[in-house]
Structure 1
């Protein structure tokens, strides 16, 4: 695989993984647009590892608190903020993990990988994000996360299994409608991504064990590095911008891309 294609692929994954514009939708379309074969699961695992490293580094204070809290939670104690945060993350992850296994075992995930589906979800869930962002109050900080809200956001995250929906987009949508401030909605969404990326990356990793050769491993390492840098930059820019702007620019992008994809799909 050429260095240029690895760079484009990993950069798109890194940027779109955390912005509310759907990474899966872009990655499904990229091979077709560039007349290139599908990148394969080794590269998929690699770019997931890269983006995972970026989000852990950027939110290290929260991640460290949740990790220490997890040990207390495993000992049966929920007496610290970290332990409660760890519990909320577990609660928010269970629905999508269960649904993801169902999608994979039934083959539903493959059936939904089409330009038309991506176009409709890009457009539709973009409009839903706009509605939630405009009508949701901004009264709750991330520290006010509750088990009920974590469960609601966890069930919303199931919709991200449909290509084009955007995992970050749908969880941010749910958080905004629940009343979390824009920056805090994104923060919770990013923290929720960590166990999901670990789960999906582990599943993909188990499938490619023993099948990757040295060339694939080299390509994977390069892709992971590109994805890490792109994701870290995207996170930094988005979190700073959310202090002063709404999610409308992302909505506009989604609507335009959704319309273009629908024109392509039905022409």
Structure 2
């Protein structure tokens, strides 16, 4: 695969995975823009591996706190890190179930429509703006209720529709439930860890059954490395933007992208 195509795929995946603008929608749209053929599942998996590593390293303090809280949970004591682990665990099952059903039934392929992407991108920009603009936002993840974590998890399950954006819908739910901008982004990205890991593992198992092309492994390594760098920088940029501006720039981008897609299709 051409280095330029690998660079574009890694850049798109890394930047869009954690921004509220839908990485899956952008990855689907890349071949339409570049005119290249589909990159194949191994490249997609390795791109997700890179972004997973980026969030693990960026939020390493949270990860270490979670690991430190595990022994306490085994003894019936809930430390802050242990509680964070339980919140993430409560929020994860809806998306895992939804994703499993979509892949098992083959419906996931039916959702890869530019028209659907355009309308989902546009429609789900509205609640993001409303929740950010009018909700009460003073809570931290430390005081997040179990019910709220489950609600955010249910919102995450909708994100398998390309254009909805996993980050976007979970941050919308977090803002609507009272989390500050940076806290809803933090929880959203920590929630992504088990989901990305589960989807990546499932894809690797499927690839192993079908046989991996050795010629693609070097391409996969390049994509993973580039995705890691771009995702790490994107996370840092997102947290800075949310501190100073809010979600407004992402809402505007989503509306512009949806309009551009619809105009091109027309």
Shared fold (TM-score, shorter chain, > 0.5): yes
Q: Tell me the SS of whatever aligns to 1:19.
A: coil
Measure how far apart 1:78 and its partner are. 4.2
Number of equivalenced pairs: 265
- Take 1:145 and 1:218, find their aligned partners in 2: how far apart are those partners? 43
Worse overlay, 118-127 or 105-114 = 105-114
4+ residue segments displaced more than 6 Å: none
- Take 2:154 and 2:19, find their aligned partners in 1: how far apart are those partners? 19
Alignment partner, residue 198 of structure 1: 197
> Over residues 61-104 of structure 1, what are the superposed CA-to-partner deviations in whole Å (9 max), with x where a residue is unaligned?
0011112323443x262421111111111111111001111111
Q: Tell me the SS of whatever aligns to 1:179.
A: coil
When normalised by structure 2's length, the TM-score is: 0.96
Worse overlay, 219-228 or 99-108 = 99-108
When normalised by structure 1's length, the TM-score is: 0.96
> Over residues 180-213 of structure 1, what are the superposed CA-to-partner deviations in whole Å (9 max), with x where a residue is unaligned?
1111110110110111110111111111115222
- Take 1:33 and 1:10, find their aligned partners in 2: how far apart are those partners? 15
Alignment partner, residue 176 of structure 2: 177
How do 1:2-41 and structure 2 match up within 5 A? Answer: 2-41=2-41
Unaligned residue ranges in structure 1 (runs of 5+): none
Q: Tell me the SS of whatever aligns to 2:256.
A: helix
Task: Identify if the C-alpha distance between structure 1 residues 156 and 76 changes in structure 2 by more than 3 Å, giving closer, same or farther.
Answer: farther
Measure how far apart 1:123 and its partner are. 0.3
- Take 1:62 and 1:143, find their aligned partners in 2: how far apart are those partners? 12
Q: Tell me the SS of whatever aligns to 1:38.
A: coil
Report if the CA contact (8 A) 1:117-1:164 is conserved.
yes
Unaligned residue ranges in structure 2 (runs of 5+): none
Alignment partner, residue 154 of structure 1: 153
Alignment partner, residue 69 of structure 1: 69
